[in-house]
Amino acid sequence: MISVNPHALDGRVVVVIGGTTGLGLAGVMACLRVGARVVTIGLDEASVAAVREQLGARGEAVAADARDPDTAPAAIAQAIERFGRFDALYHVAGGSGRAAGDGPIDAMTDEGWHATMALNVTSVAWSNRAALRAFLQRGHGGSILNLTSVLAWAPSPCHFATHAYAAAKAGIIGLTRACAARYAPAGIRVNALAPGLVETPMARRAAEDGTIMSVVRQRQALGGGRIGHPTDLDEAVVFFLSDRSGFTTGQVLAIDGGWTVRDAVEDS
């Protein structure tokens, strides 16, 4: 829950790419609680319909694929048409490529690499490009927040050895920092969040495996060694999307229960 400045996003319009389940949905709700209007994109029609009911007059949910380069520009155009402005982008869409063939690189398939990259880093490039073009055209600055992962720089050699995913999430950090450097003179901030293992549909495999959870309890030692909750990111989402982070860009904040400082704990 948001505990500070309940009006942090009053009058602001946020586009959330991947905001109908899990971390994205928590982010949408956090933005609404502090006064934002939201347009969000989701892939699943049922989840989109459910979120649309929750948004009511304060936003819109649309079924679309973040991997399509036309999706983010259309969402931003809809935000401007409906609410008259566009102030911030939060890109959450992504996910495991394990089912497509991601894994340790010696076992990874070509299809696994391409599918994982398209979902996790190409989609971010498309949404960031659309947001930057809109901010530059309108000339009033703005904020972009991308979702990466602690696996980008704190690997798990056994239980989370999906190497295309790790490479894609590291690519998001590189893209975030490069854009932050380039567009700071235009008043545009670009930052990222790096969660550890969080209770989302993608985490179900790990959550149901006792061996993996014993490792998670060691690496995410805060809070008794639990899986993160989507709402654990809420305060950071509001901070980076609002003027509270007005002098902050190019940063990657790990919200991980200690994962990145306990990376000497082996998971084998």
Burial of 29 (0-12, 13-18, 19+ CB in 10 A): buried
215 versus 30: which is more confidently predicted? Answer: 30
**pLDDT value of position 204:** 74
One DSSP character per residue, 43-54 reads: S-HHHHHHHHHH
- Show me where the domains of the chain are located: 13-256
**pLDDT exceeds 60 at position 3:** no
CB contact set of 79 (below 8 Å; sequence gap of 6+): 13, 15, 37, 39, 85, 86
Q: What is the pLDDT of residues 95-104, one digit of tens each?
A: 999 999 999 9
pLDDT mean over 234-247: 97
Mean pLDDT of the chain: 93
Q: What is the pLDDT of residues 244-264, one digit of tens each?
A: 999 999 999 999 999 999 865
Second CATH level (architecture) for the domain 13-256: 3-Layer(aba) Sandwich (3.40)
**pLDDT exceeds 60 at position 88:** yes
Cβ–Cβ under 8 Å, residues 214 and 158: no
Q: How far is Cα of residue 248 from the mean position of the Cα atoms in its chain?
A: 18
**pLDDT exceeds 90 at position 268:** no
**pLDDT value of position 4:** 58
**pLDDT value of position 51:** 96
| Band of residue 23 on the pLDDT scale cut at 50, 70, 90 | very high
pTM of the predicted model as reported, rounded to 2 decimal places = 0.95
Facing residues of 60 across strands? 39
Nearest to 24 by CA among 44, 8, 4, 10: 44
For this structure, is 183 an active site residue?
A: no
Measure Cα distances from 179 to 76, 129, 166, 191, 217 in Å: 19, 10, 20, 9, 35
% of the chain with per-residue pLDDT over 90: 84
Given the residues 83, 86, 126, 165, the one annotated as active site: 165
| Band of residue 216 on the pLDDT scale cut at 50, 70, 90 | confident
